[in-house]
């Protein structure tokens, strides 16, 4: 699962995209996650949890990993965004 976010000059997410392969639950989780992050700040988007996604979609226990992948994709996309905003920060942390 791959996600991308576009953030405006005010720090709000204006667009989000995903590319996923898998079952309908994985696609639905990714789609819901992208809709939920739009309009939020990066910090607000990081508060979205897989349990919220699973509850909203009424995912059965056997499909909970799909919502976990969606949460991980959000976090990865936002980490990538933050890194691109300050590429020297990672070097300083090493």
As a whole number, the mean pLDDT across the chain is 90
Domains of the chain: 2-84 (3.90.1010.10)
3 closest CA partner among 67, 52, 74: 74
Global pTM reads 0.83
Cβ(33)–Cβ(53) below 8 Å: yes
- Average pLDDT, integer, range 61-85: 93
Query: Looking at residues 38-48, what average pLDDT do you find?
Result: 95
The reported pLDDT for the residue numbered 85 is 86
Residue 79 has pLDDT above 70, yes or no: yes
**Cα–Cα distance for residue pair 17/26, rounded to 1 Å:** 14
In order, the DSSP letters of 31-59 are HHHHHHHTTSBHHHHTT--HHHHHHHHT-
Bridge partners for 3 per DSSP: 18
- Measure the CA angle with vertex 89, ends 67 and 6; round to 5°: 45
């Amino acid at each position: 699962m791959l996600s991308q976010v576009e953030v405006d000059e005010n720090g709000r997410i204006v667009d989000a995209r995903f590319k996923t392969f898998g079952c309908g639950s994985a696609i639905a989780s990714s789609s819901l996650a992208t809709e939920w992050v739009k309009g939020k700040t990066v910090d607000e988007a990081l508060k979205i949890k897989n349990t919220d996604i699973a509850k909203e979609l009424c995912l059965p226990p056997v499909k909970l990993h799909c919502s976990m992948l969606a949460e991980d994709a959000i976090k990865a996309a936002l980490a990538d965004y933050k890194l691109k905003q300050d590429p020297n920060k990672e070097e300083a942390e090493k």
